[in-house]
Amino acid sequence: MNRKDGLLVLCIGMVLCLCLIPPAMASTEEENNTPAKDAAQLKMEELEAELGEEGMQEVQEYLELQASLPHVVKASPYSYIAFAATDEESQIAYMTGIDESDLTEEEKEKLKAELQDVWDRYPDDFRIEDNVPL
């Protein structure tokens, strides 16, 4: 092979490389542009598959309710007990827990009355002082 043929082969090789690399790079960029799902999105899809449409609607309603609560309720470390005001079964469970505690009868009645007072005023008239009986 003479020098001219070698140079020609080298030029053809370079042209081929230059022509083939951009399409290969473009396909890699297209793959990278596919939106990746983050962990939270994957978890939500998993939860939606598990709960179904009706369950997800309940979750949405619960989140909207939580967002609408006054700041003093959200800031309470015992807001989950105060939230029992929205569910009679939860109220019964707390009252039963008080009845089964080691408190004296007088302490039980006082605590149950204070708790019922908090639940009766929940959430609009919830006060910082309500954290004491909770």
pLDDT class for 9, splitting at 50, 70, 90? Answer: low
For residues 72 and 127, the answer to whether their CB atoms sit within 8 Å is yes
pLDDT tens column, 24-71: 555 555 555 556 777 888 888 888 888 888 888 888 887 887 787 788
Which pLDDT value is given to residue 41?
A: 84
Whether the bond between 77 and the residue before it is cis, its omega within 30 degrees of 0, is no
Identify the pLDDT of residue 3: 64
pLDDT digits (tens, 9 = 90+) for 86-129: 889 999 999 999 999 999 999 999 999 999 999 899 888 888 88
User: Can you give the pTM of this predicted structure?
Assistant: 0.53
Residues 6 or more apart whose CB falls under 8 angstroms from that of 95 comprise 112, 115
End-to-end C-alpha distance for the chain, whole angstroms: 94
- Phi then psi for residue 65, to 5 deg, are -60, -45
The beta-strand segments (E) located in 28-128 are none
